[in-house]
Amino acid sequence: MAQSTFESYLITGGAGFVGSYLAEALIKKGKRVAVIDDLSTGRVENIAPLLSHPNFHFARATIMDSIVMDRLVSQADIVVHLAAAVGVQLIVEHPVHTIETNIMGTESVLKSALRYGCRVLIASTSEVYGKGYRIPFNETDDVLLGATDKHRWAYAASKMVDEFLGLAYLDEFGLDVVLFRLFNTVGPRQRGQYGMVIPRFMQQALKGEPITVYGDGTQRRCFGHVKDVIQAIIGLAEHPEAPGYVYNIGSTEEVSINELAARIKDITQTHSEIIHIPYSKAYAPGFEDMARRVPDTSRIQNLLGWQPQYTLDDILNDVMVYEQQQLGL
């Protein structure tokens, strides 16, 4: 049976939105935590309260730097690999960076982990389900991606390669690998500039600007609180039976984007109008969105008993309080 008490974590992308919450929770549990982040989308402010903690170490470097990676992995007994190109806006605008970071970065992490025999958790994404229409999405479903001239699908394909690579390292070399697919994950500190809808709508509402719904707004999503999501990640990290599988992590509370805009308008009591913008203007001509995205979370529930504790209303309240503070309201 694999080791199940890990004391020394390395989090790639640990200055990012999800990574910084994870780092904080692990430090609170008394773990040693090292973070590697090139601050391309991560921010030092996210980890500022941890920087002076004796159990915390921050390396500003890219995961492609194999020398730094190797040194950090040699000092860890488990790696949580979150560093990746994220955000639909960023992915559509910088496809080369997306593909290279996601594929070469994961390869670099796995090579070092193999050298030192570390458990590795690799973050993947619900984008992998692409245009899947069988709801809810189960980890064993076939995947249906769009054509290669639509850059959005490069993200899904690159993350699929990461999953294949992780499982191949497990099957061929016996490396202890766990994969998880994050569904829409939100909460305070998430930034809106790479596309994420909740911080964008909340900022627009609080500033009295138009709330920009893309497409006709009938597309549906399930938003999970980052605090729930990191509990699922920690559960997988610690569970001896977790390796060898992919796990969906997300909420199953569905909402349409029109309804989300209306709820945000309501709780902020804004006079902002809700406007609709065609996808071709918001992203690029030919952009394809998913109509519905709901996870089947029975696999992780069966393993860990994990279930989200926060509702969408809780999330919207938390994000509103945070954004009000940011805007000095």
Residue closer to ligand UDP by CB (options 10, 222) is 222
Does residue 195 belong to the site contacting ligand UDP (CB under 6 A)? Answer: yes
Q: How far apart are CB 172 and ligand UDP at their closest, in Å?
A: 32
Of 27, 60, 174, nearest in space to 110 by CA: 174
Of 314, 221, 231, nearest in space to 259 by CA: 221
Question: How far apart are the C-alpha atoms of 52 and 48, rounded to whole Å?
Answer: 8
Q: How far apart are CB 26 and ligand UDP at their closest, in Å?
A: 26
Residues in the interface with ligand UDP (CB under 6 A) total 13
Q: Which stretch binds ligand UDP (CB under 6 A): 49-57, 134-142, 214-222, 224-232?
A: 214-222
| Catalytic residue ranges | 155
Q: How far apart are CB 130 and ligand UDP at their closest, in Å?
A: 12
User: Cis (ω within 30 of 0) for the bond into 136?
Assistant: yes
Q: How far apart are CB 232 and ligand UDP at their closest, in Å?
A: 18
Residue closer to ligand UDP by CB (options 138, 212) is 212
Cα–Cα separations (whole angstroms), residue 235 to 21, 138, 301: 14, 19, 11
DSSP assignment string, 204-234: HHHHTPPEEEETTS--EEE-EEHHHHHHHHH
**Window 266-325: residues binding ligand UDP (CB under 6 A):** 289
Question: How far apart are the C-alpha atoms of 65 and 313, rounded to whole Å?
Answer: 41
> Is the distance from CB of 27 to CB of 53 less than 8 angstroms?
yes
Residue closer to ligand UDP by CB (options 73, 197) is 197
Residue closer to ligand UDP by CB (options 219, 251) is 219
Question: How far apart are the C-alpha atoms of 180 and 250, rounded to whole Å?
Answer: 10
Residue closer to ligand UDP by CB (options 12, 184) is 184
Does residue 145 belong to the site contacting ligand UDP (CB under 6 A)? Answer: no
Q: How far apart are CB 216 and ligand UDP at their closest, in Å?
A: 10
Q: How far apart are CB 45 and ligand UDP at their closest, in Å?
A: 21
Question: How far apart are the C-alpha atoms of 247 and 251, rounded to whole Å?
Answer: 13
Q: Cα torsion at 323, 284, 125, 324 (round to 10°)?
A: 0
> Is the distance from CB of 190 to CB of 322 less than 8 angstroms?
no
Written as six digits, the tokens of 220 are 């549906």
Question: How far apart are the C-alpha atoms of 282 and 284, rounded to whole Å?
Answer: 7
Does residue 212 belong to the site contacting ligand UDP (CB under 6 A)? Answer: yes
Residue closer to ligand UDP by CB (options 113, 213) is 213
The binder of ligand UDP chosen from 79, 170, 213, 264 (CB under 6 A): 213
Q: Which stretch binds ligand UDP (CB under 6 A): 38-46, 194-202, 238-246, 263-271?
A: 194-202
What DSSP character marks residue 193? T
Does residue 214 belong to the site contacting ligand UDP (CB under 6 A)? Answer: yes
Does residue 257 belong to the site contacting ligand UDP (CB under 6 A)? Answer: yes
The binder of ligand UDP chosen from 196, 206, 242, 300 (CB under 6 A): 196
* Binding residues vs ligand UDP (CB under 6 A): 88, 184, 195-197, 200, 212-214, 219, 221, 257, 289
